[in-house]
Structure formats: C-alpha cells, structure tokens
Amino acid sequence: MLEAQTTQLMTFEEAVEKYNREGKFEIYDGEIKPLMPHLPLHQWVARLLFRLLDSHCVANRLGEVLYEFAFVLLEDSKWVKGSRVPDVMFYSAARWAAYTESKPGWSIKPLTLIPDLVIEVVSPTDSYTDIQNKVDHYLKDGVRLIWVVDPQRKSAGVFEGDKFMALTEQDTLSGGEVVPGFSVALSDVFKVE
C-alpha cells in the first residue's frame, strides 16, 4: 500500500513537477496521499457517469466535465495548500469561460478552479473515514454538489451544502440546479455486464 507523507506547503511548480514525476496524488491538511489504482467496477461506474454527464452537458451547453483530473487549492496564488483528484467533476459554462479567459496558459497547468459538482465512486479499498474526509473537504472548498456513489452497496449519498440525501438503487440521481435537466436511475448505473 502506498504511504501518505507529510509536507510543508509546496510551490505550484513543485506540485506540477511531483505530479509529473510520481503520478497522481492528493493533498489534505498537509498530507500527500498517493492515489491507488482503481478496480474494474470502480472504473466502469466512474466512466459511465462521465459519459452520461458529459453527453448531457455537451448537448445542452452547460459546461465542462472532466475525468480523474486534478484541481489545486492555492494560498497567496503561489503555494499549494491542497490538491484533489475526483473521479468526475463538472464546471458550469460561465465559470469555465471566466476561468479560461483570465488564466493565461491554463491548458498546460493543473486547474485552480473549484468544481461545481464532484463525483466520488467508492472502491472496496476505500475506508468510510477517507470518503467522509473527502466530502468534508469538498464542502469546505466550496463544491456545490457532491455525489458519493457506492457500487458495492448499490447506493449513493448526495451532499449539497448542509443537506444530505441517501439514495438506493430504486432512486434517481439528479443534477438539480447545478446540472439542470440531468438525471439517471441508479439501477442503470449499477448494471454491470
């Protein structure tokens, strides 16, 4: 198992170099956590959610959907104080346009923009505490909507501000005001063939 390591703040350039040299990692409260490889079920569910969400957003010009991509939290515009790599994330068209117009060279650097929606797919290797810590950080970071999708339990948790909703396989996952018009039956998400 990959070990977490404690770090002081690193510069944006140091974080990019480490990411390129050592692979994907996240930083939570000064701790660098390398990301474990995903198991097939996790990958299948995350890819399906990406495809469905991306198709909807492209067709309706709602914004950008990214898959296993890092976003970075900066302190004083130079120092990295956090790094997150959600399974899937969404940015509204207006926020994405404002970001890309105001950040020269944005396409060759990690994003420094907080997503509107984050999707985390639970793997058998994930602990409940780790997932809840991620959710807490996403909420503190300012993510508006979080879906935690658990294929093993065939359930999902939806976090929006201080509201939480537990969904079962009989329920529908909805984008609400964050991704207007998007919905998918969880029973369709969990069909593995």
In angstroms, what is the C-alpha Rg of the chain? 16
At residue 66, the pLDDT reads 96
Q: Which of 18, 40, 137 lies closest to 86 in space, CA to CA? A: 137
Cα of 86 vs its chain's centroid, Å: 2
At residue 2, the pLDDT reads 44
Q: Which domains does the chain have, with CATH numbers?
A: 39-67+86-189 (3.90.1570.10)
At residue 13, the pLDDT reads 78
Query: Consecutive sets of 10 residues in the chain, 193 residues long: mean pLDDT of each?
Result: 56 75 74 72 92 98 92 70 86 97 86 94 87 92 96 96 95 97 96 72
At residue 84, the pLDDT reads 83
d(CA 133, CA 46) in angstroms, rounded, equals: 20
pTM of the entire structure?
A: 0.84
Q: Which residues, at least 6 apart from 106, have a Cβ–Cβ distance to it below 8 Å? A: 99, 100
At residue 8, the pLDDT reads 62
At residue 57, the pLDDT reads 98
- Contact yes or no for 141/112 (Cβ under 8 A): no
Burial, 81: exposed, middle or buried (Cβ in 10 Å; 0-12, 13-18, 19+)?
middle
At residue 1, the pLDDT reads 40
At residue 54, φ and ψ (nearest 5 deg) are -65, -45
DSSP structural state of residue 158: E
At residue 52, the pLDDT reads 97
At residue 72, the pLDDT reads 76
At residue 165, the pLDDT reads 97
